[in-house]
Structure 1
C-alpha cells in the first residue's frame, strides 16, 4: 500500500503512519471500520494504518457502505481489503464474518475491536434499554469477536493479537453523564486483562487502547448538539482540558494499534495503553 496515494482522500498529518513492512502479510480484522462522517474515525484510521504496515484488512461495519468506503480507500492506495457488513453484537452475524475470513484467507492474525456507543443519560433518568444497549455493543460485541478469533489463533501457528478500544471514561469520571458507556467499557478493560492472562502462554496477546479527547466524526456530531453547532467553542474548550493543549485524532489511536500488533510489542500483554495527552493524570 502506498501512502502518497491516500493524499487528497484522507487527512495525512505528520503523525499519520508511514509505509512499512511491520505487519506484512498479516490478516487484520477490524470491527467498526467505517466512519459516520467526513472526519476519519478510529476504526477507519486503524484499517488504513494496518494496511500501511503491510496487513491485509477485513473492514467490518454495521453499514455496508461504510465498510466498503474504508476498503475502497485501502485498495485505492494499492492495499488489499475485504468489506463485510455485520452487526457486531449478533452472534450469528459475527460467526458469519469469521467464516468468510477463514474461507478467504485461512487465518486471523489481528483482531481490532473498535465498535462502541456512548449514550448520554443521567442514572436516575436512564432506561434499562439504554444500559443494556451499552453493554451489548461495548462489552458483548468484543467478547463475541474475541472468542471466535481466539479459537482460530490458538489453532494456527504463530498465535495472534487482540486489541480492544476502550475510553478514558472507563478509568476516570469524564464530566459527562456517561454511566452506561463508562461501566461497559470498564467491563471491556477487565475482559481484556482476563483474555490476556488466560492465554499469555499460548501465543496470544491482548491489550486495550484507552483514548482520551479525540477529533472524530462521532465526537463532532455529539459536540455540535451540546454547543449549538459552535464547533470552534467546542474545540477550544476540549483542548483546554488536555495537559498537552490539544485534542488527539484517530491516527493517534491507530498508531498505538499498529505498535501493539507488531513484533516490537511482543512482550506486552494485558496492558491498558492510555492515549489521552495526559488527561487522565490530571483527573486523578
Structure 2
C-alpha cells in the first residue's frame, strides 16, 4: 500500500539546515522517495535542499533540487518548468513553506504582515497556479497536499496573527479549489500539524523560552498536548504520504489534523 512508483513529487520547503533531526519538508520528501516517487524540490537555500537530496540518494532514492523563491512568480514558474523538463509530469505537489512572526494587529509592522502573507499564502497560490493546469491535462490527474497549522484553527498561546490568518486561509483556499477541480481528477487536501518537534522548534526555544532554556520550553510544549508529547516530522510525513497516495483517491477538500488531540481539548493552550 501507498506505493508511489512512477510518480513525480514537486515539494517546496524540503531543505534541512543540518544533519541533526528532521524537518517536516525533508521528512515528507524522504517518505515519498522511499515509496518510489521521484522528488523534485525547491528551497530558498540551495545548500539546505542539497542536504536533503544527499540523504534521499544515500538510501537509493531519486531527488533533484534547485533554488526557488516561492514568493516570486518567475521563480516558481522556473521551478515547475524545470521539474517538467526533467520528468515530463507532476503527480504530487507538496506545499510546505511557512514562517511565524510574533505580533498582534496593533504591534505588527506592515512589512512583517506582507512578508507573512507572501511566504505562507501567496506561495500556495503560485505553485498551484502553475501546477494545476499540468495535473488537469494528465490522464491520471494529481494530488496537492498543503501544510497548514492548528494555529489556523485556534489560538495556541502566542500572538502571531498573520501566521494564524494565513494558515486558516490555506485551509479554505484548499477546500474551495478542491471543489472546483473535483471532476478533473485533481485532489487537494490540507495537513494541519499541531506542536511538532523539529530543528525549527529548537530555534523557537531560543526566541521564546525564558533565558533560552530549551528543556523547560520543550516540556511546556509537551504538557500542552493531551498525549503529553509533541509529534515529530514523521507523523506529518506519514499523513502527507496517505493524502498523496492513490489509496486516498476519494478524499478531497479535507483537513487531516495531526495534533495529539489539542484541537479536541478544552484544556489550557
TM range (shorter): over 0.9
Residues 1-34 of structure 1: per-residue CA shift (max 9 Å, x gap): xxxxxxxxxxxxxxxxxxx761111100110000
Aligned to 2:123: 141
CA contact (8 A) 1:110 1:161 kept: yes
Partner of 1:192, secondary structure, is helix
Aligned to 1:3: none
C-alpha RMSD over aligned residues:
1.2
Aligned positions of 1:84-233 closer than 5 A: 84-227=66-209, 228-233=211-216
Aligned to 2:63: 81
Unpaired runs of 5+ in structure 1?
Answer: 1-19
Give the whole-Å Cα distance in 2 for the aligned partners of 1:35 and 1:164. Answer: 19
Which deviates more, 85-94 or 274-283? 274-283
What is the aligned residue count?
Answer: 265
Aligned to 2:6: 25
Residues 233-259 of structure 1: per-residue CA shift (max 9 Å, x gap): 111111111001100010010000000
Aligned to 1:7: none
Unpaired runs of 5+ in structure 2?
Answer: none
CA contact (8 A) 2:136 2:184 kept: yes
Give the whole-Å Cα distance in 2 for the aligned partners of 1:232 and 1:88. Answer: 34
2:38 to 56, 59, 63: 56
State TM-score, norm by structure 1.
0.91
Which deviates more, 217-226 or 194-203? 217-226
The Cα of 1:229 is off from its aligned counterpart by 2.5
Cα gap change, 1:21 to 1:126, in 2 (>3 Å): closer
Partner of 2:212, secondary structure, is coil
Give the whole-Å Cα distance in 2 for the aligned partners of 1:108 and 1:263. Answer: 15
Give the whole-Å Cα distance in 1 for the aligned partners of 2:57 and 2:203. Answer: 28
Query: 1:258 aligned to 2:241?
Result: yes
Give the whole-Å Cα distance in 2 for the aligned partners of 1:97 and 1:59. Answer: 8
Give the whole-Å Cα distance in 1 for the aligned partners of 2:2 and 2:14. Answer: 21
State TM-score, norm by structure 2.
0.96
CA contact (8 A) 2:2 2:242 kept: no
